[in-house]
Amino acid sequence: MRHILHCDMNCFYASVEMQRHPELRNKPLAVCGSQEERHGIVLTANYLAKPYGVKTGMVIWQARQRCPTLEILPPDMGEYIRFSCMAREIYEDYTDQIEPFGLDESWLDVTGSVGLFGDPMTIAREISDRIKFELGITASIGVSDNKITAKLGSDYKKPDAITRIERDNYKEIVYPLPVEDLLYVGPATSKKLRSIGIYTIGRLAESPVDVLVRRLGKMGAILHSFANGWDTSPVQRSDHIPNIKSVGNSATTPRDLTTEEDVKLMLYLLAESVCARMRELASRCTVVELYVRDTELCSIVRQRKLPAPSCSSQELTEVGMSLFQRNYRWERPIRSIGLRGAGLVEAEGTAQMSLYADEQRRDKWERIDAAVDRLRQRYGYMSIRRAIVDSDPLLGHINVKDHTIHPVSYFGG
């Protein structure tokens, strides 16, 4: 039998700020993004703010309406990363199988540690006490025999709690929980499940698999397994290098995009970021995906398969622009935009020699991009830029490379 812990540091950003600012500990507090850069939403709120209805994702003016005495602080990601690293050092005293799920959450496989440190509940209590004593913040910990149920345990009771959910008490604790509490059941999936009368995890667990597959596709079978507590996915070791299948980047722009020139400028910035990361991974993409969200928060996602694998920022920009022109009708200005290179393959061995102009052009642009990488690495990101970037100082100042995201699917392994 495996022994899995899921550690979730409570209201992480807000807890770190209360540790740094003791005078705010007894006041409603929220850590919020920058209103000037149009990221003015609540990133996290402490437990004194939550009874007022302040929650993650709420815009600042709404949060202030609900809680006029709300203290608002800007995020300090460097400090949050430092606390996350210190928590990881605590985890590493008990196991080398640690899989992060964001800065504030991690799964730990302590199966091989019980002989040294005692049963899983003892280990969980030690970790909880150490986080409280050494970091000055609290954590909720779920104890189970798999990752999905361990996360249900850490969410079950907050703050500063330890919940064990195993076969002997699984149905008693888990079955009455709303289906939204299950990992990977988001608003859209929840709506589909509720439309067929599934409101609780227990009802999901007892539903026929074929019905769920007809309604949700293969995800229906996966969620049925999760609802029954059947999850065999391993907790990855500290030195595990995941198989990255896509690289993407997106940005909420400092002002609305209102023309195709604005869009092209942003696509160049995003494509350079995505392609630089692909070269770091010695990869090329076979699919380009475009994401656009307008000022009413309506989104579209479109993709196209490339004729040959590429890590050329020029080619990704051109394909992204073509997808945009074909699919966006300019009913409203654009608030955010993203570009992704998917279907990654190894760069070595994927390029075939050709006399065709398109192949030669792609090779030329990839060599130019590689030269730009070397110059920026030596002299800084702003040392060399495309001329189009200087056409709009507000948009052009963004260094999107520093905000590159490298998503890895939970099911990718």
The reported pLDDT for the residue numbered 85 is 93
Which two three-digit tokens encode residue 141?
């910990």
| Widest distance between CA atoms in the chain | 70
SS3 207: coil
Q: What is the CATH number of domain 175-227?
A: 1.10.150.20
Which two three-digit tokens encode residue 31?
């850590």
Query: Quick one: what percent of the chain has pLDDT higher than 90?
Result: 65
The reported pLDDT for the residue numbered 399 is 61
Which two three-digit tokens encode residue 229?
């507590």
- DSSP run (H or E) holding 220: helix 218-227
Contact present, 72 and 60 (Cβ < 8 Å): yes
| Cβ-based burial of 88 (10 A; exposed 0-12, middle 13-18, buried ≥19) | middle
| Cβ-based burial of 72 (10 A; exposed 0-12, middle 13-18, buried ≥19) | middle
Model confidence at 39, pLDDT cuts 50, 70, 90, reads low
How much is the mean pLDDT over the chain?
88
Q: Taking the domains of the chain in order of start, what are their residue ranges?
A: 1-142+150-156, 175-227, 246-403
Q: 279-282: list long-range contacts, CB under 8 Å, 24+ apart.
A: 279/311, 279/347, 279/369, 279/370, 279/373, 281/244, 281/247, 281/344, 282/346, 282/347, 282/348
Model confidence at 407, pLDDT cuts 50, 70, 90, reads very low
pLDDT beyond 50 at 206:
yes
pLDDT beyond 60 at 329:
yes
Better-scored residue on pLDDT, 280 or 316: 316
Candidate CATH numbers 3.30.1490.100, 3.10.50.30, 3.40.50.10320, 3.40.50.10490; the one for domain 246-403: 3.30.1490.100
The reported pLDDT for the residue numbered 303 is 93
**Helices 77-92, 120-130: inter-axial angle, 10-degree rounding:** 140
- Phi, psi (degrees; rounded to nearest 5) at 162: -125, 125
Which two three-digit tokens encode residue 350?
């994927």
Model confidence at 207, pLDDT cuts 50, 70, 90, reads very high
The reported pLDDT for the residue numbered 239 is 60
Mean pLDDT of 202-226: 93
What does the alpha-carbon distance between residue 399 and residue 249 come to, in Å, rounded to a whole number? 11
Per DSSP bridges, beta strands 345-346 and 283-294 are: antiparallel
SS3 9: strand
What's the CATH class of domain 1-142+150-156? alpha beta
pLDDT beyond 60 at 243:
yes
- Please list the active-site residues: 105
Residue for token pair 């910990």: 141
Summarize pLDDT for 343-385 with one digit per residue, the tens: 999 876 544 544 456 677 888 888 888 888 888 888 877 778 8
Which two three-digit tokens encode residue 265?
């400028």
The reported pLDDT for the residue numbered 324 is 96
Cβ-Cβ contacts under 8 Å for 234 (sequence gap 6 or more): 97, 109, 413
